[in-house]
Amino acid sequence: MTRLLFEKTGKAVWISHLDLMRLFQRAFQRAGLPLTHTHGFNPRPSVSIALPMSVGVESGCELLDFALDGAAVPCEEIRDRLNAALVSGVRILRVYEDGQKLKNLAWLDCCLTLEYDHGVPPEAAGRLRALFSRPSLPVQKKSKNGVTEQDIIPLLKRVELEQAEENTLTLLARVRCQNPALNPMQLLAAVDRYQPELSPDFCRCRRVEVYDENGNVFR
C-alpha cells in the first residue's frame, strides 16, 4: 500500500467523498498508473481516503492509500503524472512509499473562517474564546439514527481565535478526527446555539494538518 498527501481547494471542494474516489480512480488510469482491483463480483480499483470529508470543506492534508498494479514507479513520478491527470483544485503534494497505521490517526487541525458582512461584532474573539472554554458544550448531531446531543469539549484540544481582517475572524481548532470524530462545523453549530448574535454570514472550513495521539504529524 502506498500513501499520498493531497490538497483539495477551489472548485474541487464541492466534490463529494464518493465522487472524489471515482475521480482518483480515473486520474490513475489517465496517468497510466493501473491500480490493483478489489476481488469479487464487481472488481473496483482500490483507493481509499483516510478521512471522509464533507462537501464544501477545503483541505491541505488529505491522505489517500492506493496500490499500483505492476512494476514500481518512483514516488516523484507518481506525483507528477497524477498531477498532470487531475482536475484543478486537487493536487498531489507528496507520495510516500509507506505510511503509519491509519488507526493511529487521532487529531486534526482545522481553520474556520467566519465571515461577517457588516464587520466582526465587537469582542467576538474574546467571547468565542470564553465559549469554547466552557466545561461542556453540547450541540445537536444529526446521524442515521436521528438527532442526538454531542458534547464537543472532550473532542476539542485547542481553540485559537484571531481577527484577520475587518470582516473575518479565523478560528483554529484541534479536533479529534477518529473514534469518535468531531466534525469541525460543530464548532459553528455551538456558536449558532449559544452565541447566535456572533453567528457569521458565512463560514468556510479548511483542514490544515493531521496528527497522531501524541501530536506528531501523521503520515
Partner 1 sequence: MTDRKQRLLPAVQKPARYTGGEWGEVQKNKDEIHIRVAFCFPDTYEIGMSNLGMRILYGVMNNQPDVWCERVFAPWGDMEAALRREALPLWALESQDPVKDFDMIAFTIGYEMAYSNVLNMLDLAGVPLHASERTGLKNIVFAGGVCTFNPEPLADFVDFFSLGEGEESTVEILDVYRRAKAEDWTKEWFLREVAKVPGVYVPSLYTPVYEPDGRLKEIIRVEGAPEIVTKRIVENLDEAYFPTKMLVPSTEIVHDRANLELFRGCIRGCRFCQAGFSCRPVRRKSPEVLYRQATELLEHSGNNEITLSSLSTSDYKDLRELTDALIPYCEAHKFSMSVPSLRADNFSRELMERVQAVRKSGLTFAPEAGTQRLRDVINKNLQEEEILSTCAIAFAGGWSHVKLYFMLGLPTETDEDVLGIAELVYKIIQLWKENGVNRKRGLSIRLATAYFVPKPHTPFQWEQQITPQEYLRRCKLLKEHLYSKCVEYDYHSPDLSRLEAVFARGDRRLGPVIEEAVRSGARLDGWDEYFRYDLWQEAFAKCGVDPNFYTVRGYGEEELLPWDMMDVGVSKAFLLRERRRAYESRVTPDCRHGCAGCGANCLLKEAGCDD
Residue count (the chain):
219
Site string for partner 1, 8-37 (x = CB under 8 A): --xxx-xxx-xx--xx-xxxxxx---x--x
Contact 121, 111 (CB under 8 A): no
Give the closest residue to 208 by CA, choosing from 110, 77, 65, 83.
110
One of 59, 150, 168, 183 touching partner 1 (CB under 8 A): 168
Per DSSP, the three-state class of 80 is helix
Site string for partner 1, 49-68 (x = CB under 8 A): ------xx------------
Give least dist CB 52 to partner 1, A. 16
For residue 83, state whether it binds partner 1 (rule: CB under 8 A): no
From the list 151-159, 176-184, 186-194, 197-205, the region that binds partner 1 by CB under 8 A is 197-205
Give least dist CB 30 to partner 1, A. 4
Contact 217, 210 (CB under 8 A): yes
Name the CA dihedral angle for 135, 184, 192, 149, rounded to a multiple of 10 degrees. Answer: -60
Give least dist CB 130 to partner 1, A. 26
Report residue 112 as a C-alpha cell.
474556520
Give the closest residue to 111 by CA, choosing from 151, 165, 162, 49.
162
For residue 145, state whether it binds partner 1 (rule: CB under 8 A): no
Kindly list the residues in this chain that would bind partner 1 in the complex (CB under 8 A): 10-12, 14-16, 18-19, 22-23, 25-30, 34, 37, 43, 45, 55-56, 85-89, 115, 117, 167-168, 201-202, 204
